[in-house]
Amino acid sequence: MNQRGTIELVEAAILEHHHLDGEQHILRVQADDIAASARPGSFAHITCDRALPMRRPISIMRVDDKQGWVEFLYKAVGEGTRRLAEHQEGELISILGPIGRPFEVSATTRRPLLIGGGVGMPPMIFLADALRAQNDLQPFVILGSEVPFPFVARPSTIMVPGIPDGVIAASPLLEDWGIASRLTSTRGYAGCFDGYVTDLARGWLDALDDDARGEVEVFACGPHPMLEAVAQLARDYDLPCQVSMEEFMACGVGGCAGCVVEVQTETGVAMKRVCVDGPVFEAGEVFG
Q: Does domain 111-237 have CATH number 3.40.50.80?
A: yes
Per residue in 180-231, pLDDT (tens digit) is 999 999 999 999 999 999 999 999 999 999 999 999 999 999 999 999 999 9
Q: What is the pLDDT of residues 151-184, one digit of tens each?
A: 999 999 999 999 999 999 999 999 999 999 999 9
d(CA 269, CA 191): 43
Closest to 76 measured CA to CA, from 40, 95, 49: 49
| pTM of the full structure | 0.95
Q: What pLDDT, on the 0 to 100 scale, is given for residue 38?
A: 97
pLDDT confidence of residue 5: 62
pLDDT digits (tens, 9 = 90+) for 71-96: 999 999 999 999 999 999 999 999 99
Tell which CATH architecture fits domain 4-99: Beta Barrel (2.40)
Q: What letter represents residue 20's amino acid?
A: L
User: Residue 187 and residue 45: Cα distance in Å, rounded?
Assistant: 32
* 1 pLDDT more than 50: no
Question: Domain spans of the chain?
Answer: 4-99, 111-237
Among 121-125, 200-204, 245-249, 273-277, the least confident range: 245-249
Q: CA-CA distance, 263 to 282, in Å (whole number)?
A: 9
Fold match between 4-99 and 111-237?
no
User: Phi and psi for 185 in degrees, rounded to 5?
Assistant: -170, 155
Asked whether the predicted pLDDT for residue 257 surpasses 80, the reply is no
Residue type, 201: A
